[in-house]
Structure 1
């Protein structure tokens, strides 16, 4: 992938007319569609990040004043703020439900039950996150999808509840596809667990769901530009028209296909198993330290690659700084009201490195 980025960068630097023989954006969409479970490449919109994808989706959904969007207290700023801005602009109603009281002991059936109970006749959209970046809790998306399908039974297609998922900490760490999860929209950046180029992302949507979204930023697609030249509104695949135009970091976007190809060559199921193995090893080690409190569920069914914890009497930022200074271990601090220390074991970490992290955490007593 790095070689592909460098090849495209050198081509653009050398010749302003540089463009690969095969359409690289089309190749990126094909690769994304294949990785995400098949289906037409026209179901993929390309973005620069998860935040951009969520902003485009929640700004573009066809909602009217009084329609309700249900999200959770646990979602990240990007979801909450995109929905707040939409509410200010158009008068939609945004409600937040608490899915669990203690993340470490979260229960799948309880999360589904709480969400189902919060749905009303005015609910048109449910906006959730697959793997919570603040706790590492992984939602049972397929069960949520089933509950919402049951709640939507008997509604007109225009009023069916749409399930929209921020998947950035699941895509690349888990092997389930959006089709298998049963969601309507699946939004993710690709530089995290997919280890793709920075400044790239995708929105996947069901063919039947895309007509519910209007473009927010003008597209530079052939369909849009041709319509403009001929003096009429653009017509074409909704995802294509929803892909923002303008100048992007094309060398990164054009290398995106290689990132998907790399994961498909290894096998998503093998990657998910390896990620789960590393995360479980870390959680097992941390749980034996009396001064460390684990906030991510021990169950692999309710967690993924993220592992969140706290150290008694010490701010997470101080812990992260000491780990880096004393052990060259990189940790992050969750940007929430109650911050936790966060680790991300994955296919690029080894068991010895996980064990070294546990020893480093033990030394913080």
Structure 2
């Protein structure tokens, strides 16, 4: 499989293993932004209809990327947290309702639910440390459970969840199913219909290789009317563009969550980045990431003093490898790696590496050599 080296022109000596945080753009995204900027300088918004066609292509790419039934199910949002907030503060909660999450969630998928405490809503955290994390999540669902919200891949450990099993379990229990898919979409295939999720959200700046400030919110058509709206404006109307109309109603589509002017600059970049993922193919992207994660996992496991905190089972892995070194503080490990131009980040119990499909074997081999040096000092 081609790794499209011409698309990634990184600084000499840079070893970039931080796609689970913020990813570098491919060259085509940079070129798309440059074209958009030049067009603004020379023509302003003369060709705004062309921008709208580009934004529609982005929606179509996102629809295909997550296998949504329709582009009508996709809203373009600022970030994952905004989409989670649309769900949390859109549902009509009753005092005593429960929400099930895990004990390993990124703050975005915890705080938003804890913020409902003033309405009498209780957050139940299931422990994922056992052999069957899905069973633990489903066992935490009781008669008062209204919703389960889970990260499809845990941000610190890289644990990958069985979304199909969780989705089926939620359906059987009459529980709404919300998926924070930021650590999966763009790295692994994601099928909104197969996992039967009601809501899914992800930023574009990680595995989708896009800019910060633009993400996607999938909302299943049957549950969209359940979400009360909290933001209103010209863009979220069913008859958007009819500025003389005095009566109005929210769009039937997920555009109802987009209150005002769109982020066209971000859309230009993300649409270009997703075109690359489509050219490669998500099955091929996932296979390439799995290979690179295996290289890291096996290489780190062979270094004395290194402890791995990511799943041993390849079926449980995504794009994240977490490790620590006995006797060396994680912050110090990270500092030394940074000094050697390894871009990574401390998360949870260890330091987190996250390669993408294009990451060269050389980058991983050189990084492993640096980790070995740190461990042997």
TM range (shorter): 0.7 to 0.9
Corresponding residue number in structure 2 for 1:234: 249
Unaligned runs of 5+ in 1: 101-105, 153-160
Change (3 A) 1:358 1:293: same
Counterpart pick for 1:194 among 189, 204, 208? 208
Equivalent in the alignment of 2:153: 131
Q: Residues 35-81 of structure 1, C-alpha deviation per residue, up to 9 Å, x if partnerless?
A: 22142111001112222222222222333333221111111111111
Equivalent position to 2:314, from 296, 300, 303: 300
Match of 1:347 in 2: 357
Aligned with residue 2 of structure 1, among 27, 30, 38: 30
Aligned equivalents of 1:65, 1:176: Cα separation in 2? 34
Higher deviation after alignment, 197-206 or 275-284: 197-206
The one of 217, 220, 227 aligned to 1:203: 217
8 Å CA contact 2:74, 2:216 repeated in 1:
yes
Deviation at 1:126, TM superposition (A): 0.2
TM-score, normalised to structure 2, is 0.85
3-state SS in 2 of match to 1:255: helix
Contact kept? 2:181, 2:200, Cα under 8 Å: yes
Query: Judging changes above 3 Å, is the alpha-carbon distance between structure 1 residues 328 and 16 closer, same or farther for their aligned structure 2 residues?
Result: same
Which residue in 1 is equivalent to 2:120? 91
Report what 1:217 is aligned to.
Answer: 231
In structure 2, what is the equivalent of residue 285 of structure 1? 299
1:62 match: 92
Q: Please list the CA deviations of residues 168-204 of structure 1 after superposition, one character each: whole Å capped at 9, or x if unmatched.
A: 1111111132222222211100111111233210011
1:329 equivalent in alignment to 2:339: no
Count the aligned residue pairs: 344
Could you tell me the TM-score, scaled by structure 1's length? 0.88
Q: Which stretch shows the higher mean deviation, 234-243 or 72-81? A: 234-243
Alignment of structure 1 residues 8-157 onto 2, 5 Å:
8-18=36-46, 19-21=48-50, 23=52, 24-88=54-118, 90-100=119-129, 107=131, 110-152=132-174
Per the alignment, do residues 237 and 257 of structure 1 end up closer, same or farther by CA in structure 2, a change over 3 Å counting? Answer: farther
Shift of 1:93: 2.0
By how many angstroms is 1:16 displaced?
A: 4.2
* 1:212 CA displacement: 2.2
Alpha-carbon contact 1:275-1:347 (below 8 Å) kept:
yes
Q: Distance between the aligned counterparts of 1:221 and 1:9, measured in 2?
A: 26
Question: How far apart are residue 223 of structure 1 and its match?
Answer: 2.3
Offset from partner CA, 1:242-280 (integer Å, 9 cap, x none):
12425x642112332222222111110000000011001
Distance in 2 (CA, whole Å) between partners of 1:59 and 1:233 is 22
How do 1:223-262 residues align onto structure 2 when only pairs under 5 Å count?
A: 223=238, 230-246=245-261, 249-262=263-276
Query: Relative to structure 2, which stretch is displaced further, 15-24 or 227-236?
Result: 227-236
